[in-house]
Structure 1
Amino acid sequence: MKPIIALTKGRLEKQFIKFLQSLNYEVEPIINKGRKLRVETDTFQFIFAKGPDVTTYVEHGIADLGIVGGDIIAEFQPDVFNLFPLPFGHCRMAVATEDGKVWPNQKKKIASKYTGITKEYFRNKGESVDIIKLEGSVELAPILGLADGIVDIVETGTTLKENGLVVQEEFFSFSARCIANRSSLKIKRDVLTPIIESFQKQEEYV
């Protein structure tokens, strides 16, 4: 039976396709999958999901391997083997505020969808903050007065700049990660080991 890989939809999906191509794996069925959420190639079965769901599928053994951002691992801390970083999906986690706005003296309000990472960051700084969880465009929160600042992923910084925000501090750099189901690594070792080893040949990836 072909190994099952849970793949994060969107940006990481596109970057992973290029990565597979560099390793000479078949990718045509993935590129032309349309709206399909399950696709099979000559080597793998793929399921496509949002980042947090990728970790859930791997944790529960629905998928043997997963491709997910390091931010998701840090935020949700799933019970999986966090095998190794991949040479794409590079981002930073940062605190940002409105350009020119001074932090208030009172307790700060911080908007983020990464509430766990945010709490840990400010706890390590010895600061108590009110954290407001948002799922969408957190850049709006300081502009509309909901929060004093945000904690979010920064890749190029363009979105922040276009919305009048500036980075105050970057505190966590990460890339895409390859994760594995704990049981699969034992039961399917003979099948998964060659694949994992091929993914680790990152010096071949440009």
Structure 2
Amino acid sequence: MLKFAIAKGRITKDSNDLLNSLGFDMNEINTSRKLIIYNSDQTISLILLKAGDIPLYVANGAVDMGLVGKDTVLENDLDVYELTELDFAKCTLCVAGPKERVLLENGVKIATKYPELTRRFTQRRGINAEIITLSGSIELAPLINLSDCIVDLVQTGETLRENDLIVYEEILSIAPMIIANKVSYRTKSDEVSSFMKTCERYGK
């Protein structure tokens, strides 16, 4: 049986067609409190995890494969196979801040959920920034002077607009990504191949 991890929430809802194609009952996924759900022919167990934990579970072999945002994969930088990106739930990792633009220069304070990706960005730009790691409500940071600007995911931009923030710069395009444990990729090659054939219908 193939163990497949996904984060319950927006990405699960956006993956509705894919999960249906894999034989899962979306009503059970959306209403049950179970953390492990099986597809109709018992060939795949769906493990519901926090998004940030999925690369670790995959890298350590606790699950064989995972579906998680490319941002989370790159932020964690663990030893997994990145198999394919999917063509839905796309967004962009951006630098954003007040309408009176803040200069991205040495000493700038940046709040983010993505300290590693932000650090790589500022290093590429030659900026010595103070990076403030938060777990939520990133848009609030520049409004109360905790930071000068933010690095966060932007999909529609509605939250930024409602808080009088604008995008300064786009850093990286983000889409859901299928990742695999390197050992499982070899030892369960037939199951992985069958799984990926279904996923490819939803790929870029």
Q: Would you say same fold, with TM above 0.5?
A: yes
What does residue range 36-51 of structure 1 map to in structure 2 within 5 Å? Answer: 36-42=34-40, 43-51=43-51
CA distance in 1, matches of 2:7, 2:45: 14
Question: What's the TM-score once normalised by structure 2's chain length?
Answer: 0.92
Asked if residue 182 in structure 1 is aligned to residue 161 in structure 2, the reply is: no
CA distance in 1, matches of 2:133, 2:36: 31
Q: Which residue is equivalent to 1:133?
A: 133
CA distance in 1, matches of 2:72, 2:196: 20
Q: Deviations over 1:85-133 (max 9, x none)?
A: 0111201000011122443876101111100010111111111111011
Native 8 Å contact 2:64 2:181 kept in 1: yes
Native 8 Å contact 2:91 2:173 kept in 1: yes
CA distance in 1, matches of 2:105, 2:160: 24
What does residue range 112-151 of structure 1 map to in structure 2 within 5 Å? Answer: 112-151=112-151
Aligned residues with identical type, % of pairs:
36
Q: Which residue is equivalent to 1:15?
A: 14
CA distance in 2, matches of 1:13, 1:105: 38
Native 8 Å contact 2:98 2:142 kept in 1: yes
Q: 1:31 aligns with which of 29, 32, 37?
A: 29
Please list every run of 5 or more consecutive structure 2 residues that lacks an aligned counterpart in the other structure: none
The structural deviation recorded for 1:33 is 4.2
The structural deviation recorded for 1:12 is 0.7
CA distance in 1, matches of 2:59, 2:24: 26
What does residue range 1-206 of structure 1 map to in structure 2 within 5 Å? Answer: 2-21=1-20, 23=21, 25-28=23-26, 30-42=28-40, 43-103=43-103, 107-202=107-202
**3-state DSSP of counterpart to 1:100:** coil
Residue 39 of structure 2 aligns to which amino acid in structure 1? Answer: T
Question: What's the TM-score once normalised by structure 1's chain length?
Answer: 0.91
Please list every run of 5 or more consecutive structure 1 residues that lacks an aligned counterpart in the other structure: none
Residue 18 of structure 1 aligns to which amino acid in structure 2? Answer: D
Runs of at least 4 residues off by over 4 Å: none
Native 8 Å contact 1:33 1:39 kept in 2: no
**3-state DSSP of counterpart to 2:173:** strand
- RMSD of the TM alignment (CA)? 1.9
CA distance in 1, matches of 2:104, 2:122: 15
Native 8 Å contact 1:3 1:191 kept in 2: yes
CA distance in 2, matches of 1:142, 1:61: 40
CA distance in 2, matches of 1:160, 1:109: 18
Residue 126 of structure 1 aligns to which amino acid in structure 2? Answer: G
Native 8 Å contact 1:29 1:40 kept in 2: no
**3-state DSSP of counterpart to 1:84:** strand
